[in-house]
Structure 1
């Protein structure tokens, strides 16, 4: 929890999408106002693990490395934009089949003071099938969570 209302470390879990990126300006404003460190976290879920916790990915190393390289380039670009605004920023890629649990573990292990993340606005069957990472994070973590809806900026 922040000392005297000050957020020292802000986490932005980002899935690389345009929707996910909508959380970044909000986190940037808060980071500038609080002189916070901004951590942009990408949880890399290997292809083919959407419905299984363990799966053999033999022969897919090239594809996985290519995807990971693309993620690294995106994170570097976003981090450079933020640094140009005077924000202390760190990027991190974690590999996990459980995106929400990886985010929650990071919040606990790294003493994060605030989570700023986008929702995808899934409803109905899509939400049932894929779940809501944002809802799971809100339920699990003990720090404030700011959610940015996809229809708002």
Structure 2
């Protein structure tokens, strides 16, 4: 059983599976942290600052919605909290896992941008390769 579990989400269709796994593996009195990472664009010669700002607000709102959707997968007996961070997904997942001192990261094999079903998503693959924390890979089927 794990005392603190990080559950990154990108809004893909695997929320129920991931929440179920987290609930089964959570120790009594443990905590689940649901994380969604919002990307951030920077302005360039081709994009005005106001357009970039609007897109970034949309990305952040989408990340908030992803967290809210995942939180609804848990019943009131589970100690769960949501978190939105801005950054590059794989790096941010690892940073939050280390900062929050989690014992386990639960992540789906393929997310929203999922590639062919036999190939891991790039974020998932990077988390698996760089994490020093246990990672549970949830099949995307």
Same fold (TM over 0.5): yes
Structure number with the higher strand fraction is 2
- Per the alignment, residue 70 of structure 2 pairs with 78
Deviations 1:77-99 (CA, angstroms, capped at 9, x unpaired)? 43244242x11111111111x21
Residue 45 of structure 1 and its aligned partner are, at CA, apart by 1.1
Question: Structure 2 length as normaliser, TM-score?
Answer: 0.77
- Per the alignment, residue 132 of structure 1 pairs with 122
Of the candidates 105, 119, 138, which is equivalent to residue 109 of structure 2? 119
SS, match of residue 11 in structure 2: coil
Number of residue pairs the alignment of both structures matches: 133
- Per the alignment, residue 24 of structure 2 pairs with 29
SS, match of residue 56 in structure 2: helix
- Per the alignment, residue 41 of structure 1 pairs with 35
Residue 28 of structure 1 and its aligned partner are, at CA, apart by 2.0
Question: Structure 1 length as normaliser, TM-score?
Answer: 0.72
Which has the larger displacement, 56-65 or 107-116?
A: 56-65
CA distance in 1, matches of 2:74, 2:84: 17
SS, match of residue 22 in structure 1: helix
Q: Give yes or no for the alignment of 1:62 onto 2:57.
A: no
CA distance in 2, matches of 1:116, 1:100: 13
Deviations 1:14-50 (CA, angstroms, capped at 9, x unpaired)? 011113553222112212x54320001101113xx5x
- Answer yes or no: is the 8 Å Cα contact 1:83–1:89 preserved in 2: no
Residue 55 of structure 1 and its aligned partner are, at CA, apart by 4.6
Q: Give yes or no for the alignment of 1:107 onto 2:101.
A: no
CA distance in 1, matches of 2:69, 2:89: 22
- Per the alignment, residue 89 of structure 1 pairs with 80
Structure number with the higher helix fraction is 1
CA distance in 2, matches of 1:145, 1:72: 23
Gaps of 5+ in 2: none
Gaps of 5+ in 1: 1-5
Over the residues paired in the alignment, what is the CA RMSD in angstroms?
2.6
SS, match of residue 83 in structure 2: strand
- Per the alignment, residue 16 of structure 1 pairs with 11
